[in-house]
Amino acid sequence: MSSNLVDDSAILTVNQLSKSFGGVKAVNNLSFSVKENNIHAIIGPNGAGKSTLFNLITGVITPDTGEIKLSNQDITSLRPDKIAERGVSRTFQNIRLFPDMTVFETVLIGTYLLTGGKLLPAVFRTKSFRNKEREAKERIEEILKFVGLWDMRHEYAARLSYGNQRRVEIARALATNPVLLLLDEPTAGMNQQETKELMQLFSQVNNQGITILIIAHDMHLVNTLSNQITVINFGEKLVEGPPEMIQNHPAVLEAYMGRAEANA
């Protein structure tokens, strides 16, 4: 049966999405929507299909069935770069930084879309390219100050502390001018103070008008930041609702967190 999700306030709509690898259904007839300017969390156990879902949304892999819409525009079959051009950016669970690039250079990569990515203008340093390059560098300065890394701009990104490496990843994602930011386990492996500081940064990013879709196991983060939570298991949606409903939902307490952890 078709759900045909229609929500004029949604920036992202996932409708009856499915993806199989061999005989395993990683995502199975999944439907949900993310409202504009919200922080929407995706939770579920390991192997539930969360990262596969992010790969589908960003065009890394193609769904078997279903559709994905960004601001009511179908992006289901677009290449990753075309989806990024439309304002979808992401970070990864495992940090991906170049060991021989500074913080500034690493984040500058994110402005590739802003400078057009054209070879000949870059080679011949045309006036148009120089103007775009100047604008990109000004934006990087603004972003690095925003995330608290401006004083570290000349340091090698891969040599920073784990928490600051995460900030570099977020800064690089912000450099693409996203309207929707996907964060895959952004606080995994962090201590309590690093997590607290990054949660504050997420709130500040969201206050800039950027919608956030986040995968997280940290239920304190999820319950504190998110407006809406979608719980999935075996690629299917189990339940969805605001944090106060999810943290006390019997199926969630039993299947994912355990009653003691959920009430912590």
Tell me the mean pLDDT per 10 residues along the chain, length 264.
57 97 93 97 89 96 96 94 93 87 92 56 58 83 97 96 94 95 93 93 97 93 95 91 88 60 37
Domains detected in the chain: 1-87+180-202+210-264 (3.40.50.300), 95-177 (3.40.50.300)
Residue 256 confidence (pLDDT): 59
Residue 263 confidence (pLDDT): 36
Residue 264 confidence (pLDDT): 33
Residue 118 confidence (pLDDT): 52
Residue 114 confidence (pLDDT): 53
CA distance 148 to 90: 19
Residue 9 confidence (pLDDT): 83
Torsion angle of the four alpha carbons 186, 191, 194, 197, in this order, in degrees rounded to the nearest 10: 90
Identify the CA nearest to 171 among candidates 147, 191, 188.
147
Residue 261 confidence (pLDDT): 41
The strand order across the sheet containing 228-233 reads 88-90, 180-184, 211-215, 39-43, 228-233, 236-241
Residue 233 confidence (pLDDT): 87
Identify the CA nearest to 172 among candidates 246, 240, 90.
90
Identify the CA nearest to 53 among candidates 167, 183, 178.
183
Degrees to nearest 5, angle at CA 219 with 173 and 71: 40
Residue 135 confidence (pLDDT): 83
DSSP state of 209: T
